[in-house]
Amino acid sequence: MRCPYCQHTDTKVTDSRTTDEGNSIRRRRECISCGRRFTTYEVVEEVPLMVAKKNGRRELFDRGKLLNGLLRSCDKRTVPMSIMEQVVNDVEREIRNEVSQEVTTDRIGELVLQQLKDIDQVAYVRFASVYRKFDNIDSFMEELKSLKKLDNKRKKEKSESKEVKED
C-alpha cells in the first residue's frame, strides 16, 4: 500500500476493524518512511449471481425480491420476520455455494419450499402455487396430498417418540 503523502510503499497497520455493516474492513496504516497515518478500506467483491427465469430472461439475484415473496406467502400467518430472513440467508448461501454462477428460479423455489415445509404449511402451499404455477387443480391437489402424507408421517413419528419416552 503506497503512502498518499510521500509515495513510500511500506506501511504498517496500526488498527483494523470491521465496519458496522460487516462487509468491509477499515484499516489505519502508518507510513514507515514519513510516519503519517491514513485509512484504507477493504471490500469483499461479491460475485454476481444470475437468475435464469422461466421466460428465458436473466436477472441479478435479488434478496429483497425473495423476501417479498416469502412475506406474501406468510401473510396473516405467525411466521416471525427473523425466520423469513433466515430462510433467505440459507437459500442465498446454498446457491452461492453451488459451482455455477447461474441459478434457475425453479431451483430457488425448491430450496425455499424445502424449508417452508417445516415452518408453515399454508405459507408452503401459497409459495408453491406461485413458484410451481400449477397448471390445473389436479397438480395442485397432488401437492396437497403429498403434503398431507408428510404431515401424517410426522405426526406418527411424533406420537411414536412420545410413546417411547413415556415407557
Residues that bind Zn ion (CB under 5 A): 3, 5-6, 8, 31, 33-34
Q: How far apart are CA 28 and CA 35, in angstroms?
A: 12
Pick between residue 30 and residue 143 the one whose CB is nearest to Zn ion: 30
Select 31 or 74, whichever has its Cβ closest to Zn ion.
31
What is the C-alpha to C-alpha distance for residues 146 and 40, in angstroms, rounded to an integer? Answer: 55
Closer to Zn ion by Cβ: residue 8 or 65: 8
